[in-house]
Amino acid sequence: MNVWFSHNGERLGTYDGHNGTVWTIDIDSQSRFLVSGSADNQLRLWNVSNGKCLYVWEFPTAVKRVAFSDDDEKVVCITEQRMGHQGAIRVFRLNRDGDGTDQSLEPEYMFHPVGSKATVCAFTYTPNVILTGHESGKVALFDVTSGTEILNNERAHMDSVTDLQLSGDRTYFVTSSKDKTARLHDTKTLRVLKTYSTETPLNSAALSPNKPYVLLGGGQEAMQVTTTSARQGKFETRFWHMVFEEEVGRVKGHFGPIAVHPAGTCFASGSEDGFVRVHHFEESYFRGKPYGDLEIDD
């Protein structure tokens, strides 16, 4: 794993340790700790500032998704269903005292979701309730203390959910899917609020923190990438108006994952070509009036 300064592209350093594809990373709100999940069946905790690996959790199968809680006290991870092992969701309570190396090996909670395999997850604003996206297209809420499914929307998508990102206050979230749509959902009820339909499978969806835009990354399946030109493969970041459900622009290039800077000044996209691109928004982006002459109070 590598880290760069987003404002000038200068490389800061690396986090060495994993021996397999790194599927997922997340960073806490203070940029103090980083967690990563990999195909080497490990979940690792890192010190962001010096690249030191603080703790390693080992599992029977690969770690496909990790996420911090909003208070940075917990980490949730999904391990894959493979080789006779059930897919599992584990929640670890982090010990943030000292240098971070004194962690508990055992999860605080662990359960096996019944039915379709979970692919993505995140903590909601309700304590001990997590949000999951599944291979069947379902999104669900789980109580981690008991492992029970509180609520689900079986028809949130018609194909596998590929990404899930929450709004700043965690009251709504966006999902992307192989069914060529991204959808905005209410976190409490899981009701679909908005749908953004495209002509290509989507790998990632992100919310702009200070403008009403949804960024979508899509293109052909990774295995077909080398046989497809950039234009035919539809490798573009698409900007959609979150409220009006209209596409407002495209940036050529990558097919995901996509992350927007917390201050909303730029976005980064990754790809199988080995490059990460950082796009800085121009002045016109901030001067634009997404609601016309209507002024929205923050």
What DSSP string runs through 30-45?
A: TS-EEEEEETTSEEEE
User: Tell me, what's the pLDDT at 221?
Assistant: 59
Tokens 């080497």 locate to: 40
For residue 118, pLDDT over 60 is answered with yes
Q: At residue 20, what are phi and psi to the nearest 5 degrees? A: -165, 175
pLDDT tens per residue across span 197-214: 999 999 999 999 999 999
pLDDT number for residue 179: 96
So where are the chain's domains? Answer: 198-298
Q: What is the mean pLDDT of residues 265-286?
A: 89
* pLDDT, tens digit, 9 for 90 and up, residues 79-112: 998 888 999 999 999 999 999 999 999 999 999 9
pLDDT at 165 over 60: yes
pTM recorded for the entire structure: 0.91
3-class SS of residue 162: strand
Kindly report each contact of residues 275-283 with a partner whose C-beta sits within 8 Å and lies 24 or more positions away, as own/partner: 276/4, 277/253, 278/4, 278/6, 278/9, 279/237, 279/251
Which pLDDT score is estimated for 25? 96
Comparison of pLDDT for 293 and 59, the residue scoring more: 59
Evaluate the CA torsion angle 147, 149, 154, 157 in order and state its sign.
negative
Task: Provide the pLDDT for residue 222.
Answer: 54
- List pLDDT tens digits, range 212-221: 999 999 876 5
CA 255 to each of CA 101, 205, 225: distance values in angstroms, whole numbers, following the listed order: 36, 10, 10
CB burial string 255-291: b at 16+ within 10 A, e below: bbbbbbbeebeebbbbbeeeeeebeebeeebeeeebe
Euclidean distance between CA atoms 38 and 36, whole angstroms: 7
Residue 164's pLDDT is what? 97
